[in-house]
Chains A and B, each alone.
Chain A
Amino acid sequence: MSGNLLEVKAVRMHFPIHGGVLFRRIATVYAVDGVSFNVKPGETVGVVGESGCGKSTLGKTILRLYDPTGGEVLFEGKDLAKMGRRELREVRKDIQIIFQDPYESLNQTHTVGRIIQEPFVIHGVGTKEWRREEAKKLLKRVGLPESAFDRFPHEFSGGQRQRIGIARSIALKPKLVICDEPVSALDVSIQSQVLNLLLDLQREMGMAYIFIAHDLAVVKHVSDRIAVMYLGKIVEFAAAEDLYKAPRHPYTQALISAIPVPDPTRDLSTKQVLEGDVPSPRNPPSGCSFRTRCRFATERCAKEEPTLADAPNASKGHLVACHYADRLDEALKERAKT
């Protein structure tokens, strides 16, 4: 399939746990376990899921901050996972990341000016004066005063620091920016400002975003398409509208029903509450990984792992990984039998 900026194919990221006297591998964390999706130029793909489902790991694996255990990450048709050092360095001009915690992602010993110029310095772009000028322009672009240039990240608020982080990531005019929960650490009042800044920048520069978050409302606001992750796998992938209107996977349904709606007359009986905890990614359940918490789960779910496929009777491109995607009633009946 051409026309994709990024194509992620069956990417797996397993972390070994070593232990014992000889540091042998005693267990494995299946953080990302066979994830496939694609990103078109200029679009925003949201990735949602609860803590520990592997969404941040996915982002870092795409960037090759981790070396994936398996699968392919094709950026403009070239596999990032197999690239050599030099090639990777070039590609990194085009893919950037914005981190969750603006306190951690900026080096406190550097001035803001130095932080923003860093991408230029690393890639040897421009002269000294040009870098300074460009950094000042970037500061202005993300809504910070020029006087911030000689100050330190320490002296700014969370939202301002996140703006510094954003200025740094767009410095080289990347084609893809991975936003790893860019607003989760911020005040609600600041969140929308930063989100709008991100959207404005996208409109201006035509970048694609992979927007990782656990807040469904935020993701809905920014995304064109959304992937729902559970325990290292994508369970549903659809256009934002479709996903919110007609979620097919029981997990997505539960998540969406949990979004608070400011309507006191709402019928609360349709609200689904998920019970139990997420199973450990060290030891995921057999078959469908969601079955331990799914109220529709049947014996088939324990035996067979569902694949991510076109959902029946849904709009095009709506993918879901559930045996009973369109016939959850049947599942209930089957469950009642046993």
Chain B
Amino acid sequence: MTTLPLDPLTRKKIHRFRSIKRGYYSAIFLAAAILLSFGAELFVNSRALIVRYEGRFHFPTYGSILPGTTFGLDYRYETKYRELKRKFKAEGRGNWVLLPPAPYNAYENDLTEGIYPPTAPDAGSGHWLGTDSTGRDVLARLVYGFRTAIVFSILLLLCNYTIGVTIGCAMGYFGGKFDLFFQRIIEIWANVPFLYIIIIVASIMIPNFFTLMMIMLFFGWIQMTWYMRTATYKQKSREYVLAARAMGASDPYIIFQHIIPNTISIIVTFMPFSISSGVVVLTSLDYLGFGLPAPTPSWGELLRQGTSNLDALWIVSSVVVSMILLLTMVTFVGEAVREAFDPKKHTVYE
């Protein structure tokens, strides 16, 4: 037995998911985009991919900075590879520099005397989507902003679901006073206005990636709890759970071996929607200025720049198009998953 045997129901669900084309292809595309974004330094970066200097190869992309002196320049700070490329070209001594397709990082301001940013898209300079109002490359900020947002959403989702599933499962499984108590707690909790809290916190301290996640986690676990509670209640009263209890199984055994595997479809169904809501929340907070601190590349911040510089249409259009693409695709995936996991589609009444 080399492969994990999947039960026919799960196989059927996966098969149906794959047969819903737009969801399936969106899932592949998104997965590829997320994976590629982890290697974004290879595509969008001010550091060169490969430098050949005096017969030796250098790979500056990852690792510590290489000072200009490495390549016979007269400064000790990080090499400016774009300049280096021009210099090597002019010298024509067999040294060369291979730059990434978009040779800018998300933080540097590419300013030229006499030209005021934002500058329009221009293939010659490597600014494929132009620059923003401080001369930073829009594409770079878009790519790194995507990475931040998606990592944020996935981490938030994992934390939310861990807490939500645990508490929801416990509520459903143990029921009684425990359930009642937590229901009331959650009702009170859910009524705390989330945005106010963020705004208050953001006005006291500048939130970073983790504090922002903690705040969102504080309120985000609630939704899953309700669904898990109901699902657990339903599974718990089924006879296979009684059978396990009759065999002398412990509560954790029943929860992990029996109940969770049977409620996993609920968890999976909500995942894509949670990811898209994570991205939306982070973007809107950044847009309002309560999100990640200033130089961090983010879509919300780009959106704000775009809407206040409407004459520089490339900013607002690139971020809006990316946003629409991402959210549509996530929704397609979510829709396909929901369709594939719909119990009405494969319940057999005999």
For A109, give its contact among B239, B245, B248, B262 (CB under 8 Å).
Answer: B262
Residues on B with beta carbons closer than 8 Å to the beta carbon of A90 = 248
A123 adjacent to chain B (CB < 8 Å): yes
A105 adjacent to chain B (CB < 8 Å): yes
Instruction: From A2-10, A96-104, A246-254, A255-263, give the one contacting chain B.
Output: A96-104
Query: Do A105 and B240 touch (CB < 8 A)?
Result: yes
How distant is B347 from chain A, measured CB to nearest CB, in Å? 11
Residues on A with beta carbons closer than 8 Å to the beta carbon of B350 = 103, 158
Instruction: From A147-155, A286-294, A300-308, give the one contacting chain B.
Output: A147-155
Question: With A60-B242, A109-B262 known to touch, is A122 a contact of B247 (CB < 8 Å)?
Answer: yes
Query: Do A92 and B248 touch (CB < 8 A)?
Result: yes
Query: Do B1 and A107 touch (CB < 8 A)?
Result: no
Query: Do A104 and B246 touch (CB < 8 A)?
Result: no
Query: Do B247 and A154 touch (CB < 8 A)?
Result: no
A26 adjacent to chain B (CB < 8 Å): no
B244 adjacent to chain A (CB < 8 Å): yes
A73-107 residues with Cβ-Cβ distance < 8 A to B are 88-90, 92-93, 95-97, 99-101, 103-107
Residues on A with beta carbons closer than 8 Å to the beta carbon of B248 = 88-90, 92-93, 122-123
B249 adjacent to chain A (CB < 8 Å): yes
Which residues from chain B sit less than 8 Å from chain A, CB to CB?
1, 5, 7-10, 180, 238-240, 242-249, 253, 258, 261-262, 350
Query: Do B246 and A152 touch (CB < 8 A)?
Result: no
Query: Do B239 and A105 touch (CB < 8 A)?
Result: yes
Query: Do B244 and A109 touch (CB < 8 A)?
Result: no
Query: Do A150 and B5 touch (CB < 8 A)?
Result: yes
Query: Do A108 and B245 touch (CB < 8 A)?
Result: no
Query: Do A155 and B247 touch (CB < 8 A)?
Result: no
Query: Do B246 and A97 touch (CB < 8 A)?
Result: yes
Contact digits for A12-48, partner B, Cβ 8 Å, 1 yes 0 no = 0000000000010000000000000000000000000
Closest residue of chain B to A178 (Cβ to Cβ) is: B246
How distant is A131 from chain B, measured CB to nearest CB, in Å? 14
Query: Do B243 and A99 touch (CB < 8 A)?
Result: yes
How distant is B8 from chain A, measured CB to nearest CB, in Å? 5
A138-177 residues with Cβ-Cβ distance < 8 A to B are 150, 152, 154-155, 158, 165, 168
A273 adjacent to chain B (CB < 8 Å): no
Residues on A with beta carbons closer than 8 Å to the beta carbon of B7 = 108-111, 152, 154
How distant is A64 from chain B, measured CB to nearest CB, in Å? 9
Residues on B with beta carbons closer than 8 Å to the beta carbon of A110 = 7, 261
Residues on A with beta carbons closer than 8 Å to the beta carbon of B245 = 65
Query: Do B10 and A99 touch (CB < 8 A)?
Result: no
A11 adjacent to chain B (CB < 8 Å): no
Taken together as a complex, chains A and B put the C-alpha atoms of A262 and B245 apart, in Å, by: 43
**Beyond A107-B240, A122-B244, 6 additional pairs, beta carbon < 8 A:** A63-B246, A96-B246, A100-B239, A111-B5, A154-B8, A158-B350
Listed from nearest, the 7 A-B pairs whose CB atoms lie closest are: A92-B248, A105-B239, A104-B239, A89-B248, A107-B240, A152-B7, A109-B261
Closest residue of chain B to A109 (Cβ to Cβ) is: B261
A118 adjacent to chain B (CB < 8 Å): yes
A71 adjacent to chain B (CB < 8 Å): no
Chain A to chain B contacts (Cβ below 8 Å), 9 pairs: A23-B180, A65-B242, A92-B247, A101-B239, A106-B240, A107-B244, A109-B9, A118-B249, A152-B8
* Residue from B238, B243, B245, B261 with most neighbouring chain A CB atoms (10 Å): B243
Residues on B with beta carbons closer than 8 Å to the beta carbon of A70 = none
Query: Do B9 and A108 touch (CB < 8 A)?
Result: yes
Closest residue of chain B to A86 (Cβ to Cβ) is: B248
Residues on A with beta carbons closer than 8 Å to the beta carbon of B5 = 111, 150
Query: Do A104 and B253 touch (CB < 8 A)?
Result: no
* Residue from B238, B239, B242, B350 with most neighbouring chain A CB atoms (10 Å): B239
* Residue from B247, B249, B253 with most neighbouring chain A CB atoms (10 Å): B247
For A99, give its contact among B1, B242, B253, B261 (CB under 8 Å).
Answer: B242
Query: Do A105 and B243 touch (CB < 8 A)?
Result: yes
Taken together as a complex, chains A and B put the C-alpha atoms of A12 and B7 apart, in Å, by: 41
How distant is A93 from chain B, measured CB to nearest CB, in Å? 7
Closest residue of chain A to B12 (Cβ to Cβ) is: A154
Residues on A with beta carbons closer than 8 Å to the beta carbon of B9 = 108-109, 152, 154
A119 adjacent to chain B (CB < 8 Å): yes
Query: Do B8 and A99 touch (CB < 8 A)?
Result: no
Taken together as a complex, chains A and B put the C-alpha atoms of A152 and B5 apart, in Å, by: 9
Query: Do A104 and B240 touch (CB < 8 A)?
Result: yes
Question: With A154-B7, A155-B8 known to touch, is A65 a contact of B246 (CB < 8 Å)?
Answer: yes
Taken together as a complex, chains A and B put the C-alpha atoms of A158 and B253 apart, in Å, by: 27
For B1, give its contact among A88, A104, A150 (CB under 8 Å).
Answer: A150
Taken together as a complex, chains A and B put the C-alpha atoms of A111 and B257 apart, in Å, by: 12
Residues on B with beta carbons closer than 8 Å to the beta carbon of A106 = 240, 243
How distant is A6 from chain B, measured CB to nearest CB, in Å? 15
Closest residue of chain A to B262 (Cβ to Cβ) is: A109
Residues on A with beta carbons closer than 8 Å to the beta carbon of B244 = 107, 118, 122
